[in-house]
């Protein structure tokens, strides 16, 4: 947020902002139809199509990167809110201050002195009057002053910084005990009523997507070439074509015979594929409901993928080429049950696929997914039992008893490492746990595959605290400032309701 106005932080830089950026909201129109002269209006501040186009062009020229009209418009809207807030607060730069900024700008100086001719040349080149420049600078000053006010009051003490460092960088010395859910499987009783109740409570989980079982024939340059023989004459011809020089003499034929054989076979395989592809295509088209003629006439083996349903998500996750996915899940193959055209799947290989069976997208009945429901039910119930056992153990520890537990060896873990392996809720519990009065802290991690009881024996702060502290204070200060600015922006948006005019933001031609 505030990317553009943030660029110009000091009064001495205001003029640079005015030079680099468009003079938004500076012009005027006198159209008869209300709202015809703007896209949006915040208070008395209007955003026009010309503003967006000019700003987009100037940002792209300055940065060398393409930016969208939507991005430009969003920035202008934010600036309009800030400008309107500054206007209502009466924030303005005195003319003497503006003159001083202009006079002190190095662009208009020689040997440290202001040169009127340079200033006038700039105005002429920019196509603006002095009044427009002054007006733009006043608005830019107001925006920057308002933004500074919106972000004020973010001083950070050493105590705050140390707390953050200890929270986010201090290592925890810990041990763990896992309560495997599988150990409680014998305690779970199963009957159809319980399974059906679980099915009804989790019905959305058993909505089955469209899926297919299929078969295919493969036309492969590698496979076809491997079956081709290579004569001694072909080997000698290929060997003679190997370049040689005094610095790189030609190797012995026996040393490169295997490599040359593979290269010749690969070329033959590629030629065979090119020759056979048309025949494969004709046989697939003329016999749309079977691949058998391709096998009978061309000797290509039929491969079946029919041991389980394949959904498009599964095909994608398994690395199936997109071109093959598009064909396999197309209307011709899935609905009409026709053979596909040969599909190029890369490396000189083509497939012709045909659906053996198709499962329509539907809500699975209990009978269809009973085995899966039972598996899920057992997993859920054993997890509940394991969690309850872990909670009882934690309660016993907190009451001062010492249950016999097989704790893991002690290890040190940083918050970054913990965040990578824990859920958000588990991490919050972990980060808040602190040993006290020479006693460890205990927490239960519930969102792991199995419940885990954690004993935190000590927290070790970073050794280089003096070096880390200034950086931590800066990070906290920036975060506080950004949060305060965001909060104030939300207040401005609630105070000034955006009004939409007749002009429209045209973004359809952008990528």
Which pLDDT tens digit goes with each residue over 133-148? 888 888 888 778 777 7
311 forms bridges with which residues in the sheet? 211
Q: Average pLDDT for residues 387-400, to the nearest whole number?
A: 94
Q: Average pLDDT for residues 330-359, to the nearest whole number?
A: 95
Tokens 């909060």 map to which residue? Answer: 487
Q: Report which listed range, 214-218, 220-224, 489-493, is most confident.
A: 214-218
Q: Using CA atoms, how far apart are residues 320 and 309, in angstroms rounded to an integer?
A: 15
Alpha-carbon dihedral sign for residues 459, 465, 468, 470 = positive
Per-residue confidence (pLDDT) for residue 139, from 0 to 100: 81
Per-residue confidence (pLDDT) for residue 32, from 0 to 100: 43
CA atoms within 13 A on the CB side of 342: 19
Per-residue confidence (pLDDT) for residue 406, from 0 to 100: 94
Residue 24 has pLDDT above 70, yes or no: no
Residue 2 has pLDDT above 50, yes or no: no
Per-residue confidence (pLDDT) for residue 35, from 0 to 100: 63
Q: Average pLDDT for residues 325-338, to the nearest whole number?
A: 95
Q: Given pLDDT bands bounded at 50, 70 and 90, which one contains residue 83? A: confident
Q: Average pLDDT for residues 151-164, to the nearest whole number?
A: 67
Q: Given pLDDT bands bounded at 50, 70 and 90, which one contains residue 17? A: very low
Q: Average pLDDT for residues 217-245, to the nearest whole number?
A: 90
Q: Average pLDDT for residues 494-508, to the nearest whole number?
A: 83
235 with 264: CB under 8 angstroms?
Answer: yes
What does the mean pLDDT of the chain come to? 85
Helices (H), 370-423: 370-398, 415-421
Q: Average pLDDT for residues 40-66, to the nearest whole number?
A: 86
Per-residue confidence (pLDDT) for residue 8, from 0 to 100: 37
Q: Report which listed range, 187-191, 469-473, 481-485, is most confident.
A: 187-191
Q: Average pLDDT for residues 83-92, to the nearest whole number?
A: 82
Q: Given pLDDT bands bounded at 50, 70 and 90, which one contains residue 80? A: confident
Q: What are phi and psi of 172, to 5 degrees?
A: -110, 130
Q: What is the pLDDT of residues 428-475, one digit of tens each?
A: 899 889 898 889 999 999 999 999 999 999 988 777 776 767 776 777
Q: Given pLDDT bands bounded at 50, 70 and 90, which one contains residue 3? A: very low
Least confident of 161-165, 276-280, 451-455, 483-487: 161-165
Per-residue confidence (pLDDT) for residue 23, from 0 to 100: 38
Q: Given pLDDT bands bounded at 50, 70 and 90, which one contains residue 489? A: confident
Q: What is the pTM of this model?
A: 0.52
Residue 99 has pLDDT above 80, yes or no: yes
Residue 392 has pLDDT above 70, yes or no: yes
Q: Average pLDDT for residues 263-272, to the nearest whole number?
A: 92
Alpha-carbon dihedral sign for residues 387, 389, 392, 396 = negative
> Quick one: what percent of the chain has pLDDT higher than 70?
87
Q: Using CA atoms, how far apart are residues 75 and 143, in angstroms rounded to an integer?
A: 13
Per-residue confidence (pLDDT) for residue 308, from 0 to 100: 92
- Compare 161 and 58 and report the one with higher pLDDT: 58
Least confident of 25-29, 105-109, 314-318, 363-367: 25-29
484 with 150: CB under 8 angstroms?
Answer: yes
139: nearest Cα among 98, 96, 110, 188: 98
Per-residue confidence (pLDDT) for residue 25, from 0 to 100: 40
Cβ partners under 8 Å of residue 23, min gap 6? 128, 132, 135, 136
Per-residue confidence (pLDDT) for residue 154, from 0 to 100: 63
Residue 398 has pLDDT above 70, yes or no: yes
> Quick one: what percent of the chain has pLDDT higher than 90?
48
- Compare 63 and 459 and report the one with higher pLDDT: 459
Q: What are phi and psi of 229, to 5 degrees?
A: -85, 155
Torsion of CA 104, 106, 112, 118, to 10 degrees: -100
Per-residue confidence (pLDDT) for residue 153, from 0 to 100: 58
114 forms bridges with which residues in the sheet? 109
- Compare 330 and 97 and report the one with higher pLDDT: 330
């Amino acid at each position: 947020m505030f990317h553009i106005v943030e660029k110009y932080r000091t009064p001495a830089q205001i003029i640079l902002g005015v030079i680099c950026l468009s003079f938004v909201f500076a012009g005027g129109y006198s159209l008869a139809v209300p709202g015809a002269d703007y896209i949006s209006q915040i208070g008395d501040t209007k955003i026009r199509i010309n503003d967006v186009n000019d700003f987009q062009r100037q940002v792209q020229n300055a940065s060398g990167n393409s930016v969208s009209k939507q991005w430009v418009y969003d920035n202008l809207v934010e600036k309009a809110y800030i400008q309107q807030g500054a206007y209502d607060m009466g924030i303005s730069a005195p003319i003497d201050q503006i003159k001083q900024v202009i006079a002190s700008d190095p662009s208009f100086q020689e040997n440290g002195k202001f040169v009127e001719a340079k200033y006038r040349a700039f105005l002429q080149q920019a196509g603006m009057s002095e009044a427009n420049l002054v007006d733009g600078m006043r608005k830019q000053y107001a925006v920057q002053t308002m933004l500074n006010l919106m972000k004020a009051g973010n001083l950070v003490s050493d105590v705050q910084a140390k707390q953050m460092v200890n929270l986010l960088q201090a290592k925890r010395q810990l041990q763990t005990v896992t309560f495997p859910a599988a150990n409680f499987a014998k305690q779970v009783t199963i009957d159809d009523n319980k399974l059906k109740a679980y099915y009804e409570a989790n019905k959305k989980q058993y909505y089955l997507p469209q899926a297919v079982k299929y078969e295919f024939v493969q036309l492969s340059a590698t496979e076809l070439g491997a079956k081709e023989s290579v004569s001694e004459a072909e080997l000698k011809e290929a060997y003679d074509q190997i370049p040689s020089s005094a610095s790189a003499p030609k190797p012995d034929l026996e040393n490169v015979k295997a490599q040359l054989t593979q290269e010749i076979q690969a070329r033959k395989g590629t030629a065979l594929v090119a020759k056979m592809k048309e025949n494969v295509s004709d046989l697939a088209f003329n016999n749309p409901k079977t691949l058998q003629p391709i096998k009978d006439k061309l000797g290509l083996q039929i491969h079946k993928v029919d041991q389980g349903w394949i959904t498009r998500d599964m095909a994608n996750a398994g690395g199936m080429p997109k071109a093959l996915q598009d064909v396999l899940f197309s209307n011709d193959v899935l609905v009409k049950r026709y053979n596909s055209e040969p599909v190029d799947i890369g490396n000189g290989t083509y497939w012709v696929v045909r659906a053996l069976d198709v499962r329509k997208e539907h809500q699975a009945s209990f009978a269809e997914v009973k085995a899966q429901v039972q598996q899920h039910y057992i997993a859920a119930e054993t997890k509940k039992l394991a969690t309850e056992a872990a909670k009882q153990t934690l309660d016993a520890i907190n009451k001062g008893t010492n249950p016999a537990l097989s704790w893991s060896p002690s290890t040190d873990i940083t918050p970054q490492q913990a965040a990578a392996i824990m859920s958000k809720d588990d991490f919050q519990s972990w980060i808040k746990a602190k040993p006290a009065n020479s006693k460890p802290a205990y927490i239960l991690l519930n969102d792991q595959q199995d419940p885990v009881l954690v004993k935190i024996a000590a927290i070790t702060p970073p050794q280089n605290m003096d070096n880390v502290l200034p950086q931590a204070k800066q990070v906290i200060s920036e975060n506080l400032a950004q949060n305060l600015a965001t909060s104030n922006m939300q207040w401005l948006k609630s105070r000034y309701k955006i009004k939409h005019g007749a002009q429209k933001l045209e973004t359809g031609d952008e990528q």
